Amino acid sequence: MPLQTENHPCFNDESRHMFGRIHLPVAPKCNIQCNYCNKKYDCINENRPGVTSRVLSPVQAVRYLDQAMAIVPNIAVVGIAGPGDPFANPVETMETLRLVRAKYPELLLCVATNGLDLLPCIDELAALKVSHVTITINAVDVETGSEIYTWVRHKKKLHRDIDAAEILIRRQLLALAKLKEAGITAKVNSIIIPGINDAHIIEVARTVAALGADILNCMPYYRTTETVFENIREPSRDVVLEIQAAAAGYLPQMKHCARCRADAVGIIGEINSDNLMLKLSAPSLMPNDPKEPGGQRPCIAVSSQDGKQIDQHLGEADRFLVYTLDEENDRCVLLESRVTPFPGGGRKRWEILSGILNDCRALLVSAAGDSPISVLRENGIEVMIMEGDIEEVVHGLFTGKDMTACLKPKPIHYSGSGCGGGGCA
């Protein structure tokens, strides 16, 4: 069945009242730092780009989508828009897209990105029938760009100032041209920042139109505290309308952007209720199920100091308690205690631990760093930051109970910008 591309609510104004979208928050890391982005993204009370209540693994994201499809009508689009950048997290992003395409062949797929690391993934995006991609391009002039970006991380090297802007802009424009060669609909987001690039947006419009962009979203800068630009005023509505009118001479304009969260669900402009987010999140808390592809893992591991509570940081553990489920008697059973690898060794340590816990679908800890979480997840083990009685939590996860209350609340930071492509997928 052909994809109904006209149903994308971000690209078609006529569709936005009839068709909803869902953003799957599977991409926490970012490869650039924008001067308007706050690195904090673990929030349930803010509605701005780059915010989510939690980050999901690809398998959890599909469960999240399953639940959304059951309770939210008219979802036509599945997007990935952060909370970092999708292609700073290529493994998680592409695996999520593969899983969604296999299970929901009729849904539109899209991503929103800053474009820095988009190029290597375009061929597979086209093969997966990802129909829409948004790139946030705030400048096509390196002098202007150098005022917007603090740094850019490319090929494991950190770049600043003019060098950073030159690398980012060049790769953005190359990616835009390649998207169009691949037949993918491309939207460009340009954030209007007063005194920085407001007089430059028309040049952005002219440049991206020449490369084949389909639509332009001239979106007002969102003032966010604890950022370099926190004292810059937001542009007035009249200024935004004036820029949109001038840019319309080059490209059709998107004027209904709601600057969505990275976990947005439903019709554009509708704010996700706490009750809805709780319903969506509960199934996604479950670690990989043995019935799922790659999920033949009958155990759950726990880091604990006293053997009763989940109360130990992953990096401080010298052993892990490994549990399985006795289905006949409906209780969790402690199989054994496994010794952790010696501290040090960086990534190698966590790869060794993945082997030690290769029959475990999840590891429950009170805290953990980004690196071990990433390595263990790559090896099929979901690191879950939780607290509470071990047997109660483990039994609840095995039997599919709502364990939301046991998620350990804490502010989460990551080494990048929360821009996630600038908002709407």
* Residue 211 belongs to a domain: yes
Q: Is the pLDDT of residue 71 over 60?
A: yes
Q: What is the DSSP string of 333-402?
A: EEEEEEEPPPS--THHHHHHHHHHTTTEEEEEESB--HHHHHHHHHTT-EEEEB-SBHHHHHHHHHHT--
Residues 306, 210, single domain; the answer is: no
Cβ-contact 122, 180 below 8 angstroms: no
The pLDDT of 382-406, averaged and rounded, is 87
In this prediction, residue 329 carries a pLDDT of 85
* Residue 132 belongs to a domain: yes
Q: What is the CATH number of the domain that holds 194?
A: 3.20.20.70
Residues 152, 20, single domain; the answer is: yes
Each residue of 202-253: pLDDT tens digit?
999 999 999 999 999 999 888 888 888 888 999 999 999 999 999 999 999 9
Residues 90, 156, single domain; the answer is: yes
In this prediction, residue 413 carries a pLDDT of 39
Residues 332, 218, single domain; the answer is: no
Q: Is the pLDDT of residue 281 over 70?
A: no
Question: Which structure tokens are listed for 16?
Answer: 């936005």
Residues 237, 323, single domain; the answer is: no
The pLDDT of 279-285, averaged and rounded, is 55
49-69 as b/e: b if 16+ CB within 10 A: bbbbbbbbbbbbbbbbbebbe
* Residue 418 belongs to a domain: no
Q: In terms of Cα–Cα distance, which of 175, 63, 170, 38 is closest to 111?
A: 175
CA angle 171, 174, 172 (to 5 degrees): 40
Residue with tokens 């332009």: 216
* Cα–Cα distance list, 10 to 14, 125, 135, 196, 215 (Å): 10, 19, 13, 26, 10
Each residue of 158-180: pLDDT tens digit?
999 999 999 999 999 999 999 99
Q: What is the CATH number of the domain that holds 365?
A: 3.30.420.130
Residues 58, 130, single domain; the answer is: yes
Listed residues 235, 252, 281: the one ending a domain: 281
Residues 69, 137, single domain; the answer is: yes
Q: Give the count of domains, the chain.
A: 2
Q: Give the Cα separation of 289 and 298 in Å (integer).
A: 8
pTM as predicted: 0.71
* Residue 423 belongs to a domain: no
Residues 172, 303, single domain; the answer is: no
* Residue 389 belongs to a domain: yes
Per the structure, the complete domain to which residue 86 belongs is given by: 5-281
* Residue 331 belongs to a domain: yes
* Residue 424 belongs to a domain: no
Each residue of 143-156: pLDDT tens digit?
999 999 999 999 98
CB neighbours of residue 127 within 10 Å:
11
* Residue 326 belongs to a domain: yes
Residues 263, 319, single domain; the answer is: no
Q: What is the CA radius of gyration of the chain?
A: 22
Question: Which structure tokens are listed for 413?
Answer: 């930071």
